[in-house]
Structure 1
């Protein structure tokens, strides 16, 4: 089966050696997605809710470029630097996935590559 690599233009993709998303067959795997602003830097510093939306929009774009849609998402993994703020991330997640209801996990991590990132999200989709 051919492998389709999707780039989001993140400055981290080339030096680390990863793709924003990879599609093989009907499966799309989306890498940990940080709230990177369109011009680089961090989108919405300090605002977990809006950073979560930024991550989901990047994920949505990658999945659509791979031929899928958010309705194909079967799993999300939400990583936060402050688990006490989980409801801000959950609110944003629910706005996009409330009807889709993928399997989902929220965990706390000690930090990300950029100290301004409050959240990173991974997603897996299966296109029917």
Structure 2
């Protein structure tokens, strides 16, 4: 099955061997997204709300580059470093998914950079009836 790598304009070099998104047969897989700037520096240190917003804006840019919208998201994988940030993440998350919510799971775990509080990976179905 052919696949297309999806990289929004202006995306920095990933810190590991992966692509921001991969589109195959109308399904877009968005890699785990951390609150990084173009130089892979964690932004909004200590602010789970701002980090969640930053992560979801990056995910949105990958989805839009592939020709979709956030309404096309069907599943999110959410990783938090501390359950104390759950309410803050959910408040921002609800802004990006105001209607019917995608399926998801959320776990607490360590992340690749200690200052990162949240990571999200997404699956979106784009352009298939």
Say yes or no: TM over 0.5: yes
The unaligned stretches of length 5 or more in structure 2 are none
In the alignment, does 2:123 pair up with 1:124?
yes
SS at match of 1:76: strand
Number of the residue aligned with 2:95: 95
Judge conservation of contact 1:10–1:36 (CA < 8 Å) in 2: no
TM score, norm. by length of structure 1: 0.90
Whether contact under 8 Å (2:7, 2:65) holds in the other structure is no
Task: Provide TM-score, normalisation by structure 2.
Answer: 0.89
Query: Partner of 2:13 in structure 1?
Result: 11
- What residue number does 1:23 align with? 23
SS in 1 for 2:62: helix
Backbone CA RMSD of aligned residues? 1.5
- Following superposition, the deviation at residue 39 of structure 1 comes to 4.7
Which residue is 1:112 aligned to?
111
More helix by share: 1
Consecutive aligned runs of 4 or more in structure 1 exceeding 3 Å deviation: none
Q: Would you say the 8 A contact 2:14–2:40 is kept in 1?
A: no
